[in-house]
Structure 1
Amino acid sequence: MDHPFVPSKKIEQKIVKKVERENFEEFNKKFHSDSLFQVSRVDFPIEGKHIYGFEQYNWTRKNWQFQAVPVAEQVEIGEYQHSLVKTDTLITERFWIPDSGFEVERQFKLIGNKWFLIYYNDINL
């Protein structure tokens, strides 16, 4: 008979739950459709700036502009050039119009098995 104050072998076996890494595509959809989720996954203060003509500032929670366009493999938007570089832990996407002063770059990084936006440069000169 087991003693009531001595854990049985069944209880001693620890349940080890493997923390799954967040799927980027699921994150990508939610990040670009849910504003509260988006702000929670921007790693403020982030690198990068907003530059529009003479207006220039760093991104903060207060001046953040909701990003509604998901990261995509292929983008067909008029004269824009597009590049997407993916690794297991970093995704870098760029849009630009050659010789125009327009460029957007954003980087998402896997931190603690969750994706975060860590860099956003939005330049329009």
Structure 2
Amino acid sequence: QQDKMHNNEDIQPEDFSQFIERFHSDSLFQQQRLSESLVLFDSKIEVQVPPGGDKYDASYSWTQNDVIVNLLEVNKNKQNPEYHTELMFISDSVICENIFIPKSNRTYLLEFSRVERKWLLTQLIVNH
């Protein structure tokens, strides 16, 4: 009977509400759930525009550490009563979490996508 339960768990897609709670409280789990093609935009990091190019030619580079530092800040501010959280259900497999201070530019937008029944962070936008 336990085997049936384990098999059933493998078939069922991961519950988002359980995932998101663990994602914000367990840093190791968080690192395991970063998409390999994660897009990060942090308004503090300078964008490099090539000579003779325009903003559409800009390159933006970040490291794994940039992601970890930003996520620590996200987790801390998510607990701050000044910040509000909204979930936007884009589709069955894409959910965005907006953590923000109303009437200000401070916002964190996290996009999660379900890949093979597991939720992954696919995009993180940080505006300070």
TM-score under structure 1 length normalisation: 0.62
The whole-number CA distance in structure 2 between the counterparts of 1:93 and 1:35 is 17
Instruction: Give the superposed CA RMSD.
Output: 3.0
- By how many angstroms is 1:90 displaced? 1.3
Query: Are residues 95 and 27 of structure 1, via their aligned partners in 2, closer, same or farther at CA, if it must alter by over 3 Å?
Result: closer
The whole-number CA distance in structure 1 between the counterparts of 2:93 and 2:113 is 6
Is the aligned partner of 1:88 residue 2:80? no
5+ residue gaps, structure 1, are: 1-16
- By how many angstroms is 1:76 displaced? 8.4
- By how many angstroms is 1:58 displaced? 4.5
- By how many angstroms is 1:120 displaced? 0.4
- By how many angstroms is 1:20 displaced? 1.3
> Which protein has the larger Cα radius of gyration, Structure 1 or Structure 2?
1
Q: Which amino acid aligns with 1:39?
A: Q
5+ residue gaps, structure 2, are: 1-6, 47-59
For residues 1-12 of structure 1, what are the structure 2 equivalents within 5 Å?
none
Q: Is the 8 A contact 1:48 1:59 kept in 2?
A: yes
The whole-number CA distance in structure 1 between the counterparts of 2:75 and 2:86 is 15
SS at match of 1:32: helix
User: Percent sequence identity over matched residues?
Assistant: 26
- By how many angstroms is 1:117 displaced? 0.5
The whole-number CA distance in structure 2 between the counterparts of 1:22 and 1:105 is 21
Q: What residue number does 2:108 align with?
A: 104
Is the aligned partner of 1:113 residue 2:117? yes
Query: Are residues 93 and 29 of structure 1, via their aligned partners in 2, closer, same or farther at CA, if it must alter by over 3 Å?
Result: closer
TM-score under structure 2 length normalisation: 0.61
Query: Are residues 83 and 45 of structure 1, via their aligned partners in 2, closer, same or farther at CA, if it must alter by over 3 Å?
Result: same
Q: What residue number does 2:40 align with?
A: 48
SS at match of 2:86: strand
Is the strand fraction higher in 1 or 2?
1
